Each structure stands twice: as structure tokens, then as C-alpha cells.
């Protein structure tokens, strides 16, 4: 499984720790090609990771910025992306199993042990399979494609 990761200047240290932990666990981690500096902008990292998720079926993404909100908003502008800002393991499970998330966003100030627990749940959680969840995810996809008119 490919896991794409990116983060702005505030997320650099946490991103490096995440990469190290996931590579030790044998995952194929692909960092963004963009370089970090004090003036970088989170949307650039969100767009690069999101585009890679779209181009690599079954891949997952991890994004990091100051609080995880801005980068998740940016990622969700890319067609086909469902990114959730997660705070805990329950969020990580539900965003993938209930909502079909393919990227999670995390705040840069989170503790690495907590973050790795969240990421491990996200990676190991099976995608949505219950009809009620699939129905909702499909509505989102159809709306995004301009096909859902049942409002």
C-alpha cells in the first residue's frame, strides 16, 4: 500500500517522525516533492498529496499543518478526495469506514504516540461496506460529479 504524506512548515518535524515510524513498519511512504520553508503554503502540499491519491488507486494520504483544518479544506477541493481532520482513533475509524475518507489531516502539535495510534487505525480500517454508508458516500461522489439533484 502506498501512503502519501505532506505537510507545511509547521508539520515538518511530525511528518519526519511519522515517516520513520511507518517505514519501520514496512509501509511504502512517499513524501511530497515540495520543499518546506517558512513561507510555504499548506494548499500546495494538500493538492500534491490529493492528486497522488487520485492517480494511485487504493493509496491513502496523511496531511499535516498547524491544526489540520486548512490543509483538509484544501485537499477536499480535489475531485475524488474525502479528507477528514481527525483527533482520535474513533475519528480515524469512522472517517474511513463510514465516510470513505482516503486522506486524514492532523495538527502539527499532536503527540507522536497518539498520532501513530490514529494512523494505524486509519490504515488498518476496512473501507465502508455497509449499505447505509455506501449510499451516503455515493451521494457525495454523485454531487461532486454534478449528478446528484435530489436536494
* Catalytically annotated residues: 65, 98
Q: Are 77 and 21 in contact (CB under 8 A)?
A: no
Per-residue DSSP letter, 141? H
137's grid cell? 458516500
d(CA 33, CA 1): 19
Q: Report the run of H or E that residue 3 belongs to, with start and end.
A: strand 2-7
Amino acid at each position: 500500500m502506498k501512503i502519501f504524506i505532506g505537510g507545511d512548515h509547521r508539520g515538518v518535524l511530525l511528518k519526519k517522525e511519522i515517516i520513520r515510524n511507518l517505514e519501520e513498519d514496512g509501509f511504502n511512504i512517499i513524501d511530497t516533492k515540495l520543499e518546506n520553508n517558512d513561507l510555504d503554503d499548506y494548499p500546495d502540499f494538500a493538492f500534491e498529496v490529493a492528486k497522488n491519491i487520485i492517480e494511485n488507486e487504493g493509496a491513502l494520504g496523511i496531511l499535516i499543518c498547524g491544526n489540520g483544518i486548512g490543509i483538509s479544506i484544501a485537499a477536499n477541493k480535489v475531485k475524488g478526495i474525502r479528507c477528514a481532520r481527525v483527533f482520535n482513533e474513533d475519528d480515524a475509524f469512522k472517517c474511513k469506514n463510514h465516510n470513505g475518507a482516503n486522506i486524514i489531516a492532523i495538527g502539527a502539535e499532536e503527540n507522536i504516540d497518539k498520532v501513530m495510534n490514529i494512523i494505524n487505525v486509519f490504515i488498518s480500517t476496512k473501507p465502508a461496506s455497509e449499505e447505509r454508508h455506501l449510499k451516503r458516500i455515493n451521494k457525495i461522489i454523485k454531487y461532486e460529479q454534478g449528478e446528484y439533484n435530489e436536494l
